[in-house]
């Protein structure tokens, strides 16, 4: 009998993954990862007087209840320092450079499909499994059956070899079916809400949370069309391209958007005309290919739940690719992932280094 160590988070998806694998005849055990400690990491928002238990401990108790219900052993491991070193430092560094990072992708690459696998091997695992909505076949990564929940986007930075001996039990299920299974089997987390926010940290008031780690650095807000100062920002790390709420030009009711940053001069650019949000190409770096395919044309997603856009690829030196898209795309954002697909297969990704604004015919580099 093959042994599977399942990453159990305290949520419904990992609980059902655990159930499905046990029902399929595998020897299964759970492993709960604790990667964030609010008291150690200066996260005052994660500790409140209104609760007598921190969110991470609540999740552990939920994971334990699931394992007890299914009569499965649950292990626990702390990767708090590793998460800080490999994921959170990157998150802060990217913000400080004016980019919009995606910590979930680094979390998958360095925590869930590296440290977790090594810990599972110590426990004698033949396979590891998670509650991700994605599919693996012959070493290739594919979108999940449930396109609304598909998480291949967040897995695109994982190395191909890291997917060896990995199972995604939910890949052929839709979310409603997963909920139905949880309810049918009376799993303790059957009606628990899905987690949101930063990977392993959860929901936070974003600007307040970031200011725990990066100092405020106010500067001018400039209208990109008129070049006039129209307000003051609280720090470039608090804004992302396309943002239209809480920008900081109080009293101005005209629809406006963040469209650029100049980190060197600490300027936030805002536009009242959406044309300044559209680009026709970008440069991606630190490219990771899961597939052996190297197409010159495919489709790309520039954000999770975003549309698929036809793109043309020009392979450059230094592991960079110039990505050209004939259909203008709105709010392509430096620091975010550009994930490449060939039909249902996820080829891999690169991180957006700079963007060429179509209407301005210039490269935007934060």
Which CATH number goes with the domain that contains 243? Answer: 2.30.30.280
Q: Both 87 and 28 in a single domain?
A: yes
The reported pLDDT for the residue numbered 235 is 93
pLDDT > 70? residue 252:
no
Q: How far apart are CA 96 and CA 87, in angstroms?
A: 15
Helices (H), the chain: 12-23, 55-70, 80-83, 89-96, 103-107, 116-122, 152-155, 175-184, 206-210
Main-chain phi, psi angles of 74, to 5 degrees: -115, 125
Q: Which residues pair with 322 in a beta bridge?
A: 283, 314
Q: Both 13 and 143 in a single domain?
A: yes
Contact yes or no for 167/127 (Cβ under 8 A): yes
Question: If you write DSSP's letter for every residue of 41-76 in order, what string do you get?
Answer: TT-GGG--TT-SS-HHHHHHHHHHHHHHHHT--EEE
CATH number of the CATH domain containing 102: 3.40.50.620
The three-class DSSP label of residue 177 is helix
The last residue of one of the domains, among 255, 272, 289, is 272
pLDDT in tens, 254-271: 889 999 888 899 999 999
Q: How far apart are CA 295 and CA 300, in angstroms?
A: 12
Of 107, 259, 338, 349, which residue is the catalytic one? Answer: 107
Main-chain phi, psi angles of 252, to 5 degrees: -95, 105
pLDDT band at 232 (very low <50, low <70, confident <90, very high): very high
Q: How far apart are CA 280 and CA 324, in angstroms?
A: 6
**Count H helices, E strands: the chain?**
9, 18
Show the tokens assigned to 99: 């980019």
The reported pLDDT for the residue numbered 40 is 65
Q: How far apart are CA 96 and CA 263, in angstroms?
A: 9
Residue among 48, 96, 354 nearest 88 (CA): 96
Of 67, 199, 346, 349, which residue is the catalytic one? Answer: 199
More confident site: 24 or 253: 24
Alpha-carbon dihedral sign for residues 107, 366, 213, 302: negative
Q: Both 186 and 167 in a single domain?
A: yes
pLDDT in tens, 345-358: 999 999 999 998 76
Which structural domain range is residue 67 located in? Answer: 3-206
Residue among 216, 177, 153, 196 nearest 347 (CA): 153
CATH number of the CATH domain containing 315: 2.40.30.10
The last residue of one of the domains, among 206, 240, 256, is 206
pLDDT > 90? residue 44:
no
Q: How far apart are CA 331 and CA 268, in angstroms?
A: 15
The reported pLDDT for the residue numbered 49 is 42
The reported pLDDT for the residue numbered 199 is 63
Give the Å distances, CA to CA, from 170 to 10, 20, 127, 144, 178: 16, 9, 15, 8, 8
Q: Both 267 and 281 in a single domain?
A: no
pLDDT band at 249 (very low <50, low <70, confident <90, very high): confident
C-beta atoms surrounding 71 within 10 Å: 7
Number of domains in the chain: 3
Distance in Å from the first CA to the final CA of the chain: 53
Output the furthest CA–CA distance in the chain (Å, rounded). Answer: 70
- Mean pLDDT, all residues of the chain: 90
Q: Both 58 and 187 in a single domain?
A: yes
Whether 338 is a known active-site residue: answer: no
Contact yes or no for 89/106 (Cβ under 8 A): no
Q: Both 233 and 360 in a single domain?
A: no
Q: How far apart are CA 148 and CA 193, in angstroms?
A: 16
Q: Both 132 and 253 in a single domain?
A: no
Residue among 342, 339, 311 nearest 325 (CA): 311
Q: Which residues pair with 128 in a beta bridge?
A: 5, 166
pLDDT in tens, 148-206: 999 999 999 999 999 999 999 999 999 999 999 999 999 999 999 887 666 656 666 77
Residue whose entry in the numeric block shows the structure tokens 């709960």: 32
The last residue of one of the domains, among 160, 183, 206, is 206
Whether 107 is a known active-site residue: answer: yes
Q: Both 50 and 190 in a single domain?
A: yes
Q: Both 119 and 23 in a single domain?
A: yes
Show the tokens assigned to 75: 């292990």
Helices (H), 71-130: 80-83, 89-96, 103-107, 116-122
pLDDT > 60? residue 81:
yes
The pTM (predicted TM-score) of the whole model is 0.91
Q: Both 243 and 198 in a single domain?
A: no
Q: Both 100 and 199 in a single domain?
A: yes
Q: How far apart are CA 135 and CA 141, in angstroms?
A: 6
Q: Both 67 and 39 in a single domain?
A: yes
């Amino acid at each position: 009998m093959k042994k599977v160590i399942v990453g159990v988070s305290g949520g419904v998806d990992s609980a059902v993954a655990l159930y499905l694998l046990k029902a399929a005849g595998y020897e299964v055990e759970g492993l709960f990862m604790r990667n964030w400690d609010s008291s150690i990491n200066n996260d005052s928002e994660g500790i409140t007087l209104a609760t007598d238990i921190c969110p991470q401990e609540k999740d552990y108790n939920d994971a334990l209840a699931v394992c007890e219900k299914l009569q499965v052993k649950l292990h626990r491991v702390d990767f708090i320092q590793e998460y800080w070193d490999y994921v959170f430092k990157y998150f802060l560094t990217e913000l400080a450079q004016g980019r919009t990072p995606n910590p979930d992708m680094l979390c998958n690459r360095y925590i869930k499909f590296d440290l977790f696998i090594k810990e599972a091997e110590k426990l004698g695992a033949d396979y590891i499994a998670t509650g991700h909505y994605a599919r693996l076949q012959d070493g290739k990564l594919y979108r999940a059956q449930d396109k609304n929940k598909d998480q291949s986007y967040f897995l695109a930075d994982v190395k191909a070899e890291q997917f060896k001996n990995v199972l995604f039990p939910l890949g052929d299920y839709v979310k409603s079916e997963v909920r139905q299974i949880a309810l049918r089997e009376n799993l303790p987390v059957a009606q628990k809400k899905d987690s949101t926010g930063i990977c392993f940290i959860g929901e936070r008031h974003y600007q307040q949370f970031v200011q725990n780690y990066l100092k405020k650095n106010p500067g001018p807000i400039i209208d990109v069309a008129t070049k006039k100062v129209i307000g003051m920002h609280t720090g470039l790390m608090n804004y992302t391209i396309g943002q239209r709420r809480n920008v900081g030009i109080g009293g101005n009711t005209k629809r406006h958007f963040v469209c650029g940053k100049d980190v060197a001069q600490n300027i936030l650019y805002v536009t009242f005309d959406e044309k300044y949000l559209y680009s026709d190409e970008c440069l991606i770096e630190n490219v990771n290919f899961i597939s052996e395919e190297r197409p010159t044309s495919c489709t790309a997603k520039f954000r999770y739940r975003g549309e698929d856009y036809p793109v043309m690829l020009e392979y450059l030196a230094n592991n960079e690719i110039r990505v050209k898209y004939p259909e203008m795309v709105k709010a392509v954002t430096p620091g975010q992932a550009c994930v490449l697909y060939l039909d249902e297969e996820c080829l891999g990704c690169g991180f957006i280094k700079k963007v060429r604004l179509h209407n301005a015919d210039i490269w935007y580099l934060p």
